[in-house]
Structure 1
């Protein structure tokens, strides 16, 4: 893709616009959007203007939000309105959500009445809800229709629909009665009524349902689309798998940022300014800095031991780092299980017991290895046994803390990914040093 982008940039610089059109014509909209995104800012609008009008709408929906906003600033008002008006309602609502309010206020009244109503409806639902990302462009059928009538109706509305592979049956009040696939319709006898084809046991979500829950249902049942209903079970939209894949990607990104102590945000992390990056990272780094002073206090309180056997200090980083790694492994699997709902709070005792046992076995293996290594380095079995025994105890504590704290913070309505890391680090550092120096005191008879 990089070579193609460079070729197109060279052609644009030489004003070879027909060559650019010919090169972009056979490409998929998503690939064209990627190329435009990679072009220098001065050429993005030029390349976009070279696209046929129908293809330009699809390409625009695939562009990153910052590029969409930049193109809006470049276009004349009629061009802007035509692009916005022909976007799918869910993509338009997502764009409006991130545009400045004054821009939205200028664009919204200029849309066609139907598109303005559809967009306002979506923007009225809570952020991160299924209602916010649903589209109203779907096919509805009546249960009294025959298969032939349904096929004729689909032919009339297919081009205006987001997808026709899943079809929904409603009554005169738009209440959802059933659903079936396009395949079911095609293989059915033409005279067969839809009530005999449809499956009345429909999986659906409400407009207020969280996007993550909708994504889990799509993933669990391998759906292409999921119907969205209001409080009276009237069908008001559908969410499609492509939109929910974006939701899943965003949620996973947020979890990764959170686990790393970086404040998550909706914008592109690599496009924000440096001071914003620093502000998002500094909070938890300060928390860790303050809490780790407890480790310094423990070491100062055990100065007598370290003074008599100075070599003990050399193994402190090894022990707390190893314990931190064990705790991080336990917390990672538990946090991921809670986020995907593979783990339920009712399984807490079993999971903590299992992870603590795993930590004990890991501690035993690591403790034996580090005991031999410490003896080879120092030639003192007392020091070696103190290091090995401490690593075993630290591994048990770390695995217990790593598995228990996410459950604790989940029950307190805190984000386990955000809260667990600093507390596990603090627990392992403080308790690890305390255990190590006290075990050394006992074994060495200090």
Structure 2
């Protein structure tokens, strides 16, 4: 089993293997075959073991977790979803919880504490070893979503006067207590960051050389209050494995590692996707959030859209006389507003994503809006031409078909401009463009699109 798991497999095979482990694990536990379940779990990699435990019924999760050896249990616990972690904490005896929490890395421990009730956090903090309690308290003192909150204080620091031989000896003695040894950090007597050094550079240097001779000075770093998304972009941009975190006095207080950045990128992307759909997640797992909370968060923008549709309905009612004369005009209203909404959503999506990845900036707003306006015209010409032919084929009225086609051109232009301009506007006002743009684009396309349609229809049909 171990040999099979450690060999390279296609992603589909790994998925099938994880599903097989989970189903077999549940079957063994339900049969009461604990030795068999333990033998199945032990050779499995920690992330896969965590996924298998998460897929079990709650009553079996605790049993499965207890079967893991203590060292492996700590690693598996860090990969579990926060809701499962909380459930396990509630079930374990105090000492069992303490053993696991005390061995967790400080940044993972802080994430767990963020999800737990305050009373449990206080109790666990009191029982931690002095060193771990100090590390955790340090991280809990920073604002959520900042480098200080996600950093780990477990790093290796060196002095410029150390020789390469002395540095290697220090690494050997501290390696098992640190998050990573691949990047080393050089500090002065006041713990201020003066440079960085990679393990590669250290290994290839001569034993008698000093750290000051081989280190890189003026190293990139982030402040404790730097937004976590900016930290992620920095690591992504420069292909770092870790980035040092300093306080206002340039004292080194921790590092953010690439595995934390992957979690951040997933979290931020999820929030942006939710926001584009008008759903406020507030960082919670949407599918584990109370349904009343879900409804409260989603109803805000749905209510805005409800009002928009009411306004659109009022405009259509005001054109009752025109519609009575040319009833076929009503048949194309959903087509126009739907197409306009889709064009606006496309423009806003690319602009919002560009702003989030910093591919585009606020100062480029006019260029981007102009580009999207031209794209809207091209899309309008293509779709409008097809619509004229289709509308004439359906209704047999050339003037109505021309009115629909020209209206689609105008609406596509409107949707492209509003879809690209609104994200820039909201970003300049300090608002989340992903959350704010969708309902306003819908409003602009629905209300103004219907007005444009009826105005052009009156003009072309001379009514």
Band of TM-score, shorter chain: over 0.9
Where do residues 31-430 of structure 1 align in structure 2 (5 Å cutoff)? 31-430=48-447
Write out per-residue CA displacement over residues 110-134 of structure 1, whole angstroms, 9 at most, x where no aligned residue: 1111111111111000111100011
* Pairwise CA distance, 1:273: 2.8
In the TM superposition, residue 362 of structure 1 has moved relative to its aligned partner by 0.7
Question: For residues 28-79 of structure 1, what are the alpha-carbon distances to aligned partners after superposition, in whole Å with 9 as ceiling and x for unaligned?
Answer: 1111111111111111111111111111111111111111111111111111
Shift of 1:275: 2.0
- In structure 1, runs of 5+ residues without a counterpart are none
Q: TM-score, normalised by structure 2?
A: 0.95
How many Å separate the matches in 1 of 2:337 and 2:285? Answer: 34
After superposition, what is the alpha-carbon deviation per residue over 1:212-253, rounded to whole angstroms, capped at 9, x for unaligned? 010000100001111000111111100111111111111111
Once the two structures are TM-superposed, the CA of residue 264 in structure 1 deviates from its matched residue by 1.3
CA distance in 2, matches of 1:242, 1:174: 25
Residues 1:18 and 2:50 are matched in the alignment: no
Structure 1 CA distance for aligned equivalents of residues 283 and 447 of structure 2:
35
Q: In structure 2, the residue corresponding to 1:264 is in which secondary structure?
A: coil
Aligned to 1:439: 456
Name the CA distance, whole Å, in 2 between partners of 1:274 and 1:344: 38
Q: Distance in 1 between matches of 2:233 and 2:250?
A: 20
- Give, in angstroms, the shift of residue 323 of structure 1: 0.8
How far has the Cα of 1:4 moved from its partner?
1.1
Output the CA distance in 1 between the equivalents of 2:74 and 2:98: 11
Q: What is the distance in 2 between the residues matched to 1:14 and 1:308?
A: 75
| C-alpha displacement of 1:364 | 0.7
In the alignment, structure 2 segments of 5+ residues that lack a partner are: 1-17
Q: Structure 2: how far apart are the matches of 1:147 and 1:403?
A: 55
SS in 2 for 1:292: helix
CA distance in 1, matches of 2:167, 2:130: 28
Q: Report the CA distance between 1:14 and its aligned residue.
A: 2.2
> 1:266 deviation in Å?
2.5
Alignment partners' CA distance in 2, 1:397 and 1:274: 37
Deviation at 1:340, TM superposition (A): 1.4
Structure 1's consecutive aligned runs of 4 or more residues displaced over 3 angstroms after TM superposition are none
Distance in 2 separating the partners of 1:153 and 1:435: 74
The C-alpha deviation readout for 1:426-446, integer Å capped at 9, x for no partner, is 111111111111111111111
The CA distance in 1 between the partners of 2:351 and 2:73, in whole Å, is 44
Q: Which moved more, 1:237-246 or 1:273-282?
A: 273-282
RMSD after superposition? 1.0
Distance between the aligned counterparts of 1:39 and 1:337, measured in 2?
A: 40
Distance 1:172 1:53 in 2: 38
Shift of 1:379: 1.2
Please give the alpha-carbon distance, in whole angstroms, between the structure 1 residues aligned to 2:124 and 2:417.
55
CA distance in structure 2 between the aligned counterparts of 1:308 and 1:372, rounded to whole angstroms: 22
Is the Cα–Cα contact under 8 Å of residues 308 and 446 in structure 2 kept in the other structure?
no
- TM (norm. structure 1) is 0.98
Q: Supply the distance in 1 between the matched residues of 2:418 and 2:31 (Cα, whole angstroms).
A: 63
Q: Is the 8 A contact 2:86 2:115 kept in 1?
A: no
* CA distance in structure 2 between the aligned counterparts of 1:7 and 1:265, rounded to whole angstroms: 36
Which residue in 1 is equivalent to 2:5? Answer: none
User: How far apart, in 2, do the equivalents of 1:8 and 1:247 lie?
Assistant: 31
Cα displacement (A) at 1:292: 2.2
How far apart are the structure 1 equivalents of 2:148 and 2:291?
35
